[in-house]
Structure 1
Amino acid sequence: MFDYPVILTPDDDTLLVTFPDIPEALTFGANKEDAMLNAIDALETALSFYVDARKQLPEPSIIADLPTVRPSVLEGVKLAIYREMTLQGIRKADLARRLGWKAPQVDRLFDLGHASRLDQLEAAAKALGRHIDLTLA
């Protein structure tokens, strides 16, 4: 769902990492493995800017021959719930009322740096008429 393509460009002794869909995400690495690990952090940081600004998340492109990275599982679930909330036109205050929570609890739910509990994420998904379906691959 959130598999974003990355462009790896040699830059002196490092690899520059850019995202065609997210110009705010930019990082580098000493080698490909390091660059791809740093790309995940850059992706999560950039997507948190969208959430903080209450903007719609960019759709990932499908570009042949480019590697992709995705946020960690917890961040991916948070982003999926955020995306659904924005698609339904529901504000954070509306979600807080549906859940019977205070506004700061909903803010923490969408804070990609905060370790939210899965039961909280499930409750938010349910309040939006959705459910979380995880698979181990």
Structure 2
Amino acid sequence: MYNYAIRFEKDTAPGLAVYCRDLPLLNSYGDDEQHAVSEAVDAIETTLSIYVDERKPIPEATPPQEGERVIYLPAVTVAKIVLWNTMMERDMRKADLRRLLGVHQVQGDRLVDFLHTSKMEQVEAALAALGKRLTIAVEAA
């Protein structure tokens, strides 16, 4: 659902540029493939923040194409994506979420801040307030 596929391209300088079809605003770089992959989660979360800033829903990931590598996001990041997209479906603003949860501005804003590490319990509570339940599945790597 939100496991985004990235591709690498040789840059004019040494290293690799990183792109994602599903997140066209994503722009990242790595010295080599391993470094590029390690930077990919941060690049994806930064790009997700742009969607929040622009009040746009976050697109689901499409199946990977040949030559692409899938990046598996942390569970809390996926939960935040679902929270944000549910808010967008309901035309809710951050202030609406804060009022619903009875929390202060900073606490509410962090629930949809992809660059802030939130406690999973807080995101789950916000999802529950919107009538959603988080389930986790584990699969072989």
Question: In which range does the TM-score fall when normalised by the shorter chain?
Answer: 0.7 to 0.9
> 2:43 maps to which residue?
42
SS in 2 for 1:82: helix
Q: Contact 1:43–1:70 (CA<8 Å) still a contact in 2?
A: no
Query: Residue 125 of structure 2 aligns to which amino acid in structure 1?
Result: A
> 1:133 maps to which residue?
135
Q: Percent identity among equivalent residues?
A: 34
> 1:83 maps to which residue?
85
Q: What are the within-5 Å matches in structure 2 for residues 40-119 of structure 1? A: 40-65=41-66, 66-119=68-121
Structure 1 unaligned regions, length at least 5? none
Q: Report how many residues are paired.
A: 137
Q: Contact 2:8–2:19 (CA<8 Å) still a contact in 1?
A: yes
- Cα-to-partner distance string for 1:78-131 (whole Å, 9 max, x where unaligned): 112111121232222222222122333211111122222222111101111011
List, as ranges, runs of 4+ consecutive aligned residues in structure 1 with deviation greater than 3 Å.
none
Deviation at 1:20, TM superposition (A): 1.5
Query: Residue 74 of structure 1 aligns to which amino acid in structure 2?
Result: V
Deviation at 1:38, TM superposition (A): 1.2
